[in-house]
Amino acid sequence: MDEPKDIQPKVEKSFELIGKKWTGLIIYVLMSGPKRFSELNESIPALSRRLLTERIKELEDHGIVVRNVIPDRPIRSEYSLTQKGTELGKILGPISQWAESWVQD
């Protein structure tokens, strides 16, 4: 594939990010709408709370996820995808369709 040399670092960085365990699944779960931390944790039961916290922080740092504080009593937070995250999530849809057809349990 004849890609310009300057795009390769960006592609490598993006694969590095979404290739981390659980990252793609977190984005996939958030595609259905904002979730509280506990809802994310329940949606991916095999993911530890510590690692979920770490992955969410990474996604926030990359501008893919945003934390919204809801000032109700008690104060709570929800996580949602940014526009950048939603665009990335659209790519994960076809991957999930491929997985349904080709990946065995």
Residue 35: what are its φ and ψ, rounded to 5°?
-135, 145
Q: How does pLDDT run across 50-84, given as a tens digit for each residue? A: 999 999 999 999 999 999 999 888 889 999 999 99
Structural domain range at position 13: 7-98
Whole-number CA gyration radius for the chain:
15
| Overall number of domains in the chain | 1
- Is 87 inside any structural domain? yes
The DSSP call for residue 5 is G
| Mean pLDDT within 85-100 | 92
Per-residue model confidence (pLDDT) at position 5: 67
The answer for 53, left when phi > 0, alpha when psi is -120 to 50, beta otherwise, is alpha
- Is 49 inside any structural domain? yes
- Is 2 inside any structural domain? no
Q: How does pLDDT run across 29-53, given as a tens digit for each residue? A: 999 999 999 999 999 999 999 999 9
Task: Tell if the pTM clears 0.95, that is, is over it.
Answer: no
Q: How does pLDDT run across 93-104, given as a tens digit for each residue? A: 898 899 999 998
| CATH number of 54's domain | 1.10.10.10
- Cβ neighbours, 10 Å, residue 40: 21
**Tokens representing residue 8 in the block:** 């390769």
- Is 103 inside any structural domain? no
Q: Looking at 6-104, list the stretches that DSSP marks H as alpha helix, in order from N- to C-terminal side.
A: 8-18, 23-30, 37-43, 49-61, 83-102
- Is 11 inside any structural domain? yes
- Is 74 inside any structural domain? yes
- Is 21 inside any structural domain? yes
- Is 71 inside any structural domain? yes
